[in-house]
A and B are shown apart, each in its own frame.
Chain A
Amino acid sequence: MMSEQYGILLVSHVAELADGLVRLLEQAAKDITVQAVGGTEDGGIGTSFDKIMAALNEMQEPEILAFYDLGSAKMNLELVSEMTEKKLWICDAAFVEGAYLTAALLQADTPYEKIREQLQDLYVK
């Protein structure tokens, strides 16, 4: 089953932005794990290495497709990817569209390589 192998991680500078996107994705992919993390440790605007690492560790799936909003979220993800045992693929696609497409394709059991291929059209970063 795809849903046991792959999960989606959403990283935003603002917690509510990531949480809101989870709600949107759940509509398209009810069986896919979508984990959200946003904001700094003190609830401010930004991203936190520790919070991202903790969010990732909560996920059961060994392979994670990660989407992010702005630059430092990506940098944090890259640092996290060096220190985790999970396979983390950081996707430069548009945050909302990329994550939504991925969720829908995972729900439809689309092979990983095909998903990556389809995401190419949504690269904006």
Chain B
Amino acid sequence: MLQESKAVMEMLTVETARTWLSLFIGKLETNEKNLNALDGSIGDGDHGTNMLRGANELKAKLAEDMQIGLSDLFKIAGMSFIKKTGGAAGLLYGQAFLNMSQSLQEGDDLLGSLANGLEGIQKIGQAELREKTLVDVWAPVMEDIRNQRLSLDRINAHVTSTKEFQAKKGRAAYVAEQLNGHIDPGAASCGYFFEAMLEAGVYDE
């Protein structure tokens, strides 16, 4: 078991992490309108556009410097999303990435850094499970990695599961009942983040 989790860790290198973030940026570009549409149910409809602002900043920073280390990659990602998105989600991703960066600096593996990332999200968002947020994707994905069963289907199932939950956080909470049956936009973008992780080969079964 110990050896297997070590094998997972070794897949998280500066190269795979760079691919991971680049694929995530690509998915945010492709799905800007989808995310806006999901967010439209509560009125402002800007989750895709906001996330893309952070993604574009990160893309520019990645292109500027090809020699960034693993921990710094996530630090730059964190500051890009914090500074440029303008919405709550960008701050949650930003704090998650900053926490991941700190963990990686201290030599943590993929799971350890994701756990610290989740802590960052929950610290500033104060969301628990089943409250229709990105926590509903992030936490079960970690559980899947721990149990070595993460797949695209599992990620999609976690994203879709937010249809069933009632929103308790953010502006969505004001119209919680009307949102029953809707996928949470933050959970959807979080799904893209972990799809990108799979595709980048960071995690390998």
| Residues of A in contact with B (beta carbons under 8 Å apart) | 40-41, 44-50, 70-72, 75-76, 78-79
Contacts and interface: CB of A to CB of B under 8 A. Distances in A.
Contact of A75 (B46, B50, B83, B92): B92
A59 B169 CA distance: 31
Given A49-B91, A79-B91, 8 more contacts: A41-B84, A46-B46, A46-B87, A47-B86, A72-B86, A75-B125, A76-B91, A79-B124
A-B pairs, 5 with minimum CB distance: A46-B86, A72-B88, A40-B86, A75-B91, A71-B170
B171 interface: yes
A49 B95 CA distance: 12
A88 to B, nearest CB: 14
Q: Is the interface of B mostly helix, strand, loop or mixed?
A: helix
A79 B87 contact: no
A40 B44 CA distance: 14
B86 A71 contact: no
Interface in B164-183: 169-171
B110 to A, nearest CB: 25
29 contacts: A40-B86, A41-B84, A41-B86, A44-B86, A45-B44, A46-B50, A46-B86, A46-B87, A47-B86, A48-B83, A49-B82, A49-B83, A49-B91, A70-B170, A70-B171, A71-B88, A71-B169, A71-B170, A71-B171, A72-B86, A72-B87, A72-B88, A75-B88, A75-B125, A76-B91, A78-B124, A79-B82, A79-B91, A79-B124
B95 A48 contact: no
Nearest to A78: B124
A49 B93 CA distance: 14
